[in-house]
Amino acid sequence: MKINENFLKIESSYLFSNIAKKVKEYSLANPEKAKDIIRLGIGDVTRPLAPACIEAMHKAVDEMSKGETFRGYPPEYGYDFLLEAIRDNDYKSRGVELDISEIFVSDGAKSDTGNIGDIFSLQNKVAICDPVYPVYVDTNVMSGRSGDKADGKWSNIYYMPCIAENKFLPQLPKEKVDLIYLCFPNNPTGMAITKAELKKWVDYANENGAVILYDAAYEAFITEDDVPHTIYEIEGAKTCAVEFKSFSKTAGFTGVRCGYTVVPHELKTADGTELNKLWARRQATKFNGVSYITQRAAEAVYSPQGKQQVREIIEYYRHNAKTIYEGLKACGFEVYGAKNSPYVWLKTPENMGSWEFFDMLLDKLQVVGTPGEGFGPNGEGYFRLTAFGSKENTEKAVERIKNYFAK
């Protein structure tokens, strides 16, 4: 038996597993200091689920306890009640018409952005932002689409630097690319894209027969009017874009696991093959649907009470983002993001390496963040902090940073 040798090209563990391991080692070596650790590294939420979701889950659990209301295998692409709620609330309300057969409910955007590669040829040229969410790169390496690594970059991946000079926005590729991963509001930089800017990408993709893989997991954090909540607000996007969304960062479902992917019927290859049909086949064959209980919880996110409760949770995190952003700015850091995002992206002081800064923050201040280098070569010299901690911990962490770095 032979293994997939591409697996040997990547580091044996995923970025966030590495960080968890480093924190664990530090904690074992420094049990006293470990008690003060504040985690603003991984993008994991901390607020309890909205009461509407809790209520919906209790009800669904009860249904599973009785023969008359028990539910077995869920429909592979999601229950109609959830698909319709998504269609009406996330799309119709923004002037986007979708059919429920264009929406695929899943166990989360990470699985979907990872698995979407299954339906594309290994011959495609992939374009990614740098820095970027590691899953886009790693899954392409694992499947054999990346080429080999040299100087921190993969030979067959087209990198689009997102750096301070271009306001952390990618520039249109200068060579032919086929699959373009975009994530807005962006992870890790926290920066958003305007409708006018995104239109350029849609036009580019349509002109060049490329597909945009659009990760909108952080959409709920958008505050500005000219920032699109879905790529389908942009004219022409249905013929060139797949969109990934998640209940993780909206309704705090990181521990519940639910997201969805939109593949419009109009998105076709040059010879007319619908990508929708390919993704439908992939999901029907390699996935078995999402728990009924989870889908009822997701549906409750769209009830009037659910909407109000979720809005309050988002406000809570938004306030944290502001606390971090303003606190760091006040003591001289160069900071980005936060406005339409739960992420704050900061330049490390005195050109410190991002892992060096990680170690320092952990060791001196017991604050855990994510080193920019983990997101790609252009992340070096930057650092990500998240707004998903508690208000108290966030304030405490900012206070520690302020005290330490105050000139």
Structure tokens at 192: 């958003």
Task: List, edge to edge, every strand of the sheet that includes 370-371.
Answer: 335-337, 343-347, 382-386, 370-371
Contact positions with a copy of itself (CB under 8 A) in 25-54:
42, 44-49, 51, 54
Report residue 231: phi and psi, to 5°. Answer: -65, -20
Residue 241 in the binding site for a copy of itself (CB under 8 A) = no
Task: Reply yes or no: is the peptide bond before residue 131 cis, omega within 30 of 0.
Answer: yes
Which phi and psi angles does 181 have, rounded to 5°? Answer: -85, 120
Contact between 76 and a copy of itself per CB under 8 A = yes
Q: What residue type is assigned to position 93 of the chain?
A: S
Token couple for 390: 């508690």
210 touches a copy of itself by CB under 8 A: yes
18 versus 194: smaller Cβ distance to a copy of itself? 18
Which region, judged by CB under 8 A, interacts with a copy of itself, from 56-64, 146-154, 192-200, 394-402? 56-64
Size of the site for a copy of itself (CB under 8 A): 84
2 vs 35, which CB is nearer to a copy of itself? 2
C-alpha triplet 6, 215, 41: angle, nearest 5°: 75
Minimal distance, residue 177 CB to a copy of itself, in Å? 9
CA distance linking residue 143 with residue 122, whole number of Å: 8
* DSSP strand pairing (211-215 vs 179-183): parallel
Residue with tokens 């990680």: 358
- With CB under 8 A as the contact rule, which of the stretches 130-138, 182-190, 302-310, 373-381 interacts with a copy of itself? 130-138
Q: Distance between CA atoms of 38 and 179, rounded to whole angstroms? A: 38
For a copy of itself, the closer CB: 21 or 92 = 21
CB closer to a copy of itself out of 166 and 288: 288
Largest Cα separation within the chain, whole Å, is 68
Q: Minimal distance in Å, beta carbon 49 to a copy of itself? A: 5
Which tokens sit at 376?
């790609």
309 versus 323: smaller Cβ distance to a copy of itself:
309
Q: Candidates 37, 119, 172, 331: give the one binding a copy of itself (CB under 8 A).
A: 119
Rounded to a whole number of angstroms, the minimum distance from the CB of residue 209 to a copy of itself is: 6
110 lies in the site for a copy of itself, by CB under 8 A: yes
Q: Per rule CB under 8 A, is residue 155 in the interface with a copy of itself? A: no
What is the sign of the dihedral through the CA atoms of 375, 379, 380 and 382? negative
CB of 187 to a copy of itself, least distance (A): 14
| Sign of the alpha-carbon torsion through 32, 345, 352, 327 | negative
Q: Exactly one of 21, 277, 311, 319 binds a copy of itself (CB under 8 A); which one?
A: 277
Exactly one of 73, 150, 175, 350 binds a copy of itself (CB under 8 A); which one? 73
